[in-house]
Structure 1
């Protein structure tokens, strides 16, 4: 039986057109991949599991078809490389993309119960005065006086009462999306957010995801240097080499 990561891999693979990897930076915070056709992408660096013997030093000039197979790896650094490659391939300017955030206060209701998969302090601050309840699922231990934080494996308990769901794209890097998405199909207002998010309709639309909030690299040299020197997306957004974009997803009625 295919999982979400398998479906994502197959979807992105169909976009490949002979590209090769031009350069790679697997930094302490984020991984950066640039392709020989000029595309570039970033992904959260999952440090749970290192690089297989023989892979380091041969990523450059690797065919993108091969690089994408690392999305399926059981090693965190390799998945980060595969996901950044996917984002370099599909996170590119196109007419459907909007320069906005996934969270719009105008869409919220006082009766909403919101679950954040991932700890997003800015979202928590924007939500807590406008909705009934806010909960967080997080893979790391987080102490917060503003919101109840649960371990990620408590998803079934919280999803049963959620009306809105915001899922970090980092769930792709650590493969927890394989559990999160199939368990949340019935939640109508569901979004995948963060710079690691691939801006591609399939397979997310089949799980009733309403929108993707990801990133586009606008200055390759600056993003590459920040990743190389251990920086993260806050640094990238600050210098303006990365920008937020939103892709609304709508199922065809035909």
Structure 2
């Protein structure tokens, strides 16, 4: 997978300079903290069929060079990819903290004309966002294998000839489906990679039809670690993170 390799290359230089401090695997999210104080999170690994990866007897990376764990982003095991993605987000945390905020999804809605009635396809069920879009009567098609929602064949066809905006969960990096999904994107489809797992590394996505990265930067290390340790999800992590974004320039 080209994306995973590019993510590796984007942070490998930084990874050789630090060691892994803690790896904390929670029910909702996994956190990795570093010897230089950095911290990143990623949704705890699931397989393509929606089950947990099954391999919970993970290698102990604490105290080891971060580059050892970084190799996991190129491995097939979802749990190992999760830890590596959290590490990537820890290594890129300083940059993420400099990015602008989109606390109420205003940039997302305005830039892509969603509130004007753009037809939206969504990979990964984001409950608050779905409720909001349905309340606004925005045309919406959702697929989420973990919840048994949607038909893949129908959804892929919609990406090619119906959808105008694709909201794509960053956990598709963990289960290895992002590039497969984007292969079905029609020429006018605009894609947003969304969720706390999103690596804020635009250069890694340059080969893909991605138009916006909407992720999170951890502001409170100890608070985030506690939330992960207690099995918290996105809502539990919200007080300890801030929503950040990066928009790619539109082609002229």
TM-score by length of 2: 0.85
Note if 1:171 corresponds to 2:168: no
Which residue number in structure 2 is paired with residue 145 of structure 1?
A: none
State the number of aligned residues.
241
Note if 1:134 corresponds to 2:135: no
Q: What is the CA-CA distance between 1:182 and the residue it aligns to?
A: 3.2
Alpha-carbon distance in 2 for matches of 1:232, 1:33: 16
Note if 1:91 corresponds to 2:93: yes
Cα pair distance change 1:131/1:112, threshold 3 Å: farther
Which residue number in structure 2 is paired with residue 182 of structure 1?
A: 183
TM-score by length of 1: 0.84
Q: What is the CA-CA distance between 1:43 and the residue it aligns to?
A: 0.3
Q: What is the CA-CA distance between 1:3 and the residue it aligns to?
A: 3.2
Q: Deviations over 1:164-200 (max 9, x none)?
A: 1110111111111131233327344211000000000
Cα pair distance change 1:99/1:173, threshold 3 Å: same
Q: What is the CA-CA distance between 1:233 and the residue it aligns to?
A: 2.2
The answer (yes or no) to whether the contact 2:96–2:217 under 8 Å persists in 1 is no
Report 1:95-244 matches (<5 A): 97-100=99-102, 101=105, 103-105=108-110, 107-108=113-114, 110=116, 112-128=118-134, 130=136, 133-142=139-148, 149-152=149-152, 154-160=154-160, 161-184=162-185, 186-237=187-238, 240-244=239-243
Report 1:18-57 matches (<5 A): 18-46=17-45, 47-51=52-56, 55=59
The answer (yes or no) to whether the contact 1:196–1:215 under 8 Å persists in 2 is yes
The answer (yes or no) to whether the contact 1:113–1:131 under 8 Å persists in 2 is no
Which residue number in structure 1 is paired with residue 67 of structure 2?
A: 65
Gaps of 5+ in 1: 143-148
Alpha-carbon distance in 1 for matches of 2:23, 2:92: 17
SS in 2 for 1:41: strand
